[in-house]
C-alpha cells in the first residue's frame, strides 16, 4: 500500500500526487464530462443555494434539491451521467481498491467565494469503502472535524494535484472547505478549483 505524505485525523493525504501533466490531461477529460452533463447550481433541501456548481460521472450522480440529498442515475436535465474518466479510475485503483470501482465521481467547481460547510459523506450504502478526493486548480483550506458534530477541528491547505482518502475510522469524519486562495494556480482557465470525490454508492 502506498504510504501517504501525512495523516490528519485519520485522513490520508498524498501531497502532489498528480504531476502537472497529469493534472492538465485530467482537466481536458473533465471538460468532456461537463460537455455531456453540464454543471448545475444545487439547492439544499431547505431551499438555500449552494456556492459550488456540480456535475458527476459514473453510474450515479449525487444531487440535492427540495426533495433531499440523494444519488440519481440521471442528470437533473434528464441525460445519463458520462463514464468516469480512466485517469481518475487509475488513482482509485492505486489508492483505494483494484477490484471495486467507484459508482460516482462527483465534480464540484469552486469559484473564489465558494465554500463547503462541515458535513459527512453518508448517503452511501456501505461505509467500508473509502471516499477518494482529488484537488485541481486553486488552493483550498480543508477543515477536518470529528465523527460527531462539534468539537475541535484542524485545517490544511490542499494544492492542485493533492489526493486524499477518507477510510476506516475516518470514513465519516466531518469535513469542509473554508476558503479558496484565488490565483494560486493557473491550471483552470479563469481560475477556480475543481474537486473530484469518488465513492462507492451501492
pLDDT tens for residues 88-142?
A: 999 999 999 999 999 999 999 999 999 999 999 999 999 999 999 999 999 999 9
Q: Which domain holds residue 133?
A: 6-199
Q: State mean pLDDT over 15-43.
A: 98
Is the whole-model pTM more than 0.85? yes
Contact 64, 44 (CB under 8 A): yes
- The domain total for the chain is 1
What pLDDT shows up at residue 2? 86
pLDDT tens for residues 32-80?
A: 999 999 999 999 999 999 999 999 999 999 999 999 999 999 999 999 9
1 located within any domain: no
152 located within any domain: yes
What pLDDT shows up at residue 1? 63
192 located within any domain: yes
What pLDDT shows up at residue 30? 98
94 located within any domain: yes
171 located within any domain: yes
What b/e sequence results for 119-139 when a residue is b if at least 16 CB atoms lie within 10 Å of its CB, and e otherwise?
A: ebbeebeeeebbbbbbbbbbb
What pLDDT shows up at residue 24? 98
| E strand residue ranges, the chain | 6-8, 11-14, 53-58, 61-65, 68-72, 104-110, 116-119, 131-137, 139-144, 154-158, 163-166, 175-181, 193-199
141 located within any domain: yes
Closest CA to 30 of 100, 94, 109, 114: 109
Residue 73's CATH number = 2.60.120.590
Q: How far apart, in Å, are the Cα atoms of 200 and each of 71, 115, 128, 133, 140?
A: 11, 24, 9, 13, 24
30 located within any domain: yes
Amino acid at each position: 500500500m502506498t504510504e501517504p505524505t501525512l495523516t490528519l485525523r485519520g485522513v490520508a493525504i498524498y501531497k502532489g500526487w498528480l504531476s502537472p501533466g497529469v493534472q492538465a490531461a485530467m482537466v481536458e477529460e473533465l471538460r468532456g464530462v461537463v460537455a455531456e452533463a453540464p454543471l448545475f447550481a444545487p439547492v439544499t433541501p431547505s431551499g438555500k443555494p449552494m456556492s459550488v456548481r456540480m456535475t458527476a460521472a459514473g453510474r450515479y450522480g449525487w444531487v440535492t434539491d427540495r426533495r433531499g440529498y440523494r444519488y440519481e442515475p440521471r442528470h437533473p436535465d434528464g441525460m445519463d451521467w458520462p463514464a468516469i474518466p480512466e485517469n481518475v479510475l487509475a488513482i482509485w485503483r492505486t489508492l483505494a481498491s483494484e477490484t471495486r470501482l467507484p459508482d460516482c465521481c462527483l465534480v464540484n467547481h469552486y469559484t473564489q467565494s465558494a465554500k463547503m460547510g462541515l458535513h459527512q459523506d453518508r448517503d452511501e450504502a456501505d461505509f467500508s469503502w473509502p471516499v477518494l478526493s482529488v484537488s485541481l486548480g486553486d488552493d483550498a483550506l480543508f477543515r477536518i472535524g470529528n465523527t460527531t458534530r462539534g468539537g475541535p477541528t484542524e485545517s490544511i491547505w490542499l494544492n492542485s494535484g493533492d489526493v486524499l482518502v477518507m477510510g476506516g475510522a475516518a470514513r465519516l469524519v466531518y469535513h469542509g472547505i473554508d476558503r479558496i486562495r484565488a490565483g494560486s494556480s493557473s491550471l483552470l482557465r479563469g481560475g477556480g478549483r475543481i474537486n473530484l470525490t469518488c465513492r462507492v454508492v451501492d
